[in-house]
Structure 1
Amino acid sequence: MTVTIYDVAREAGVSMATVSRVVNNNPNVKPATRKKVYEAIERLGYRPNAVARGLASKKTTTVGVVIPDISNAIFAEVARGIEDIANMYHYNIILCNADKKKDKEIRVINTLLEKQVDGLLFMGGAVTEDHLVAFRTANVPIVLCATSDENDQIPSVDINHEEAAYDAVMKLISQGHRRIAMISGTLQDPANGFARFQGYKRALEQAGITYDDTLVRIGNYRYESGVEAMKYFIELPERPTAVFSATDEMAIGAIHCIQDSGLTVPGDFSVISVDNSRMASMVRPQLTAVAQPMYDIGAVSMRLLTKLMKKENVEQSKVLLPHEIVVRQSVGGVQA
């Protein structure tokens, strides 16, 4: 039979109110009494009923996290940052994978809200009007993590994706490259797709390089789409000398395609990306990449959410964290 708080109180010889204070870490309990209650809890194998406690306090100490692709190492790093700060503030997290599908994202958001989470962290692609409708019906704080909405209606933590792409392409230009291709994410994705594409175009324009849409291929962030895009670039009558990829995974696909074609990196093609996941240092040659502070994005997002849940003062609801280029071996100068 299920052990109840009444059983613990009887075993310890105290009131149920005292057991409740011990379980909830109330400091107003004598050390000897606290020890007696803990010993009774251990003997009986008592586990507090989180649902009942939530109903009583109207708090579940649970945060819902919507993640777009649980198999992607980048999002795993964000989730680690979220969990570490959640543990620090005694929150549990429910992690839900949405497969980068809008309908599933909306369904998961509503499911988490039905479970009475105290707050919600949303990692996804485009924040559409349908997402905003779901967010508006929530009576708990919401923070966008590694993304943002177009009008900054929802608190968010991210990097400046356009600036990150701009810096990556300017790195190639500084090495003498003029014919620079891009493997982009979908342009419907405001951050990893459209913003990085805009940064690519801005760098070309600033350097006086005419934009050429034959040098842009749209990928789906996966390794295979990087391979397919690179096959296309290799077969062009006038090949690019460098490739900027919106993500590491597509960049690694491009590197392997180059090598499988009997060509070299950076001898025949320089390659640079944005992300700086663990894979960037595993590929050979190691990948030069713009580093997103993914752990910090998760940690800062969770800290912002704790402030909102506790109704603390929030000075800045839109946070942009810094990025940096990590130089490795995949970028070289133009061959004479």
Structure 2
Amino acid sequence: MTVTIYDVAREAGVSMATVSRVVNNNPNVKPQTRKKVYEAIERLGYRPNAVARGLASKKTTTVGVVIPDIANAIFAEVARGIEDIANMYHYNIILCNADKRKEKEIRVINTLLEKQVDGLLFMGGAVTDEHLQAFNTSNVPIVLCATTDEKGAMPSVDIDHESAAFDAVQRLIAEGHRKIAMISGTLQDPANGYARYQGYKKALEQAGIPFDEDYVRIGNYRYESGIEAMQHFLGLSNRPTAVFAATDEMAIGAIHSIQDEGLKVPEDVSVISVDNIRMASMVRPQLTTVAQPMYDIGAVSMRLLTKLMKKENVEQSRVVLPHELIVRSSVAALQ
């Protein structure tokens, strides 16, 4: 049989109100009484009913998190930042994988809102009108994490993806490269895709380097698409001397593709990217990349959400965190 608060009160010889105060960490309970209640809880195996407490307080102390790809290491780092801050403020997390599919993202958003979460963190690709419609039906705060909406109407935490890509390509240009290819993400993705593509083009334009469509391949952010894109570049008669990949995982695929052809990185082809996942320092040669502060993005997003959930004053609802070029050994000066 389910153990109730009434059973605990009878076992401890106190009122149900006293048990409730102990369970909710109310300080207005004598130490000896608190000890007696905890002993009764342990003997009976009582667990407070979170659903009932949520109905009474209209708060579930639960936050929904929509993640694009749970297998991608970079999102694991964001999730860690979210979890640490959630624990600090005594919130539980419901983590949902949406596979970067719009229809699944919408379904997951609605499911989480139906579960009466107190707030929602959304990590995804493009924030479409369908997403905004789902968000607008919510009566709880929503923060965009590692993405933004085009109109800038929603609270968000991210980096400047165009600037990060610009800095990466500019590094290649500074090393004397002019035949620079790009392995891009989908251009429908406003941050990791389109913005980084725009940063690549802007760096070329500023340096007076003509844009060449043969030097751009669209990948899906994963290792295999980096291999495929690099195979295309290596097959060109006018082979690029350097490659900028929109993500580290695609960059690592490019490095392995170059090495499979008997060529060397960076002696024959330099490779640079954005993200700075753990594998960037494990691959050989180690990957030069622009680091996103992924843990901080998760942590700051969750902290912003806690402020909105508690109706605290928020001075800045759109936060842009700094990125940093991490120089390793996959880029060399053109001989």
Distance 2:33 2:153 in 1: 49
**Residue of structure 2 in register with 1:190 after alignment:** 190
Task: Please state whether the residue corresponding to 2:117 is helix, strand or coil.
Answer: coil
**Residue of structure 2 in register with 1:240 after alignment:** 240
Gaps of 5+ in 2: none
Distance 1:85 1:29 in 2: 28
**Residue of structure 2 in register with 1:95 after alignment:** 95
What's the Cα RMSD here?
A: 0.5
Distance 1:142 1:24 in 2: 27
Alignment size in residue pairs: 335
Q: Percent identity at matched positions?
A: 84
Task: Please state whether the residue corresponding to 2:103 is helix, strand or coil.
Answer: helix
Distance 2:214 2:236 in 1: 9
Distance 1:191 1:164 in 2: 11
Task: Please state whether the residue corresponding to 1:131 is helix, strand or coil.
Answer: helix
Distance 1:7 1:154 in 2: 47
User: After the TM superposition, which residues 156-167 of structure 1 pair with which residues of structure 2 at under 5 Å, given as runs?
Assistant: 156-167=156-167
Q: Which amino acid aligns with 2:257?
A: C
**Residue of structure 1 in register with 2:35 after alignment:** 35
Shift of 1:85: 0.2
Distance 1:26 1:206 in 2: 62
Task: Please state whether the residue corresponding to 2:266 is helix, strand or coil.
Answer: coil
Task: Please state whether the residue corresponding to 2:37 is helix, strand or coil.
Answer: helix
Distance 2:213 2:28 in 1: 69
Distance 2:221 2:124 in 1: 13
Task: Please state whether the residue corresponding to 2:124 is helix, strand or coil.
Answer: coil
Distance 2:302 2:142 in 1: 10
Task: Please state whether the residue corresponding to 1:195 is helix, strand or coil.
Answer: helix
Q: Which amino acid aligns with 2:321?
A: L
Distance 2:33 2:148 in 1: 50
Gaps of 5+ in 1: none
CA deviation profile, 1:260-317 (whole Å, cap 9, x unmatched): 0010000110000000000101110000000000000000000000000000000000
Q: Which amino acid aligns with 2:80?
A: R
**Residue of structure 2 in register with 1:333 after alignment:** 333
CA deviation profile, 1:311-330 (whole Å, cap 9, x unmatched): 00000000000000111110
Q: Which amino acid aligns with 1:204?
A: L
Distance 2:125 2:34 in 1: 48
Distance 1:218 1:50 in 2: 47
Task: Please state whether the residue corresponding to 2:152 is helix, strand or coil.
Answer: coil
**Residue of structure 2 in register with 1:257 after alignment:** 257
Instruction: Return the TM-score normalized by structure 2.
Output: 1.00
Shift of 1:204: 0.6
Distance 2:199 2:257 in 1: 25
Task: Please state whether the residue corresponding to 2:230 is helix, strand or coil.
Answer: helix
Shift of 1:210: 1.0
Shift of 1:29: 1.0
Instruction: Return the TM-score normalized by structure 1.
Output: 0.99
Distance 2:257 2:74 in 1: 22
CA deviation profile, 1:133-158 (whole Å, cap 9, x unmatched): 00000010000000000011110000
**Residue of structure 2 in register with 1:275 after alignment:** 275
Distance 1:326 1:32 in 2: 56
Q: Which amino acid aligns with 2:301?
A: S
Distance 1:111 1:316 in 2: 29
Where does structure 1 differ by over 6 angstroms across 4 or more consecutive aligned residues? Answer: none
Distance 1:331 1:214 in 2: 21
Distance 2:182 2:190 in 1: 16
Task: Please state whether the residue corresponding to 2:33 is helix, strand or coil.
Answer: helix
**Residue of structure 2 in register with 1:85 after alignment:** 85
Distance 2:145 2:156 in 1: 6
**Residue of structure 2 in register with 1:107 after alignment:** 107
Distance 1:284 1:126 in 2: 33
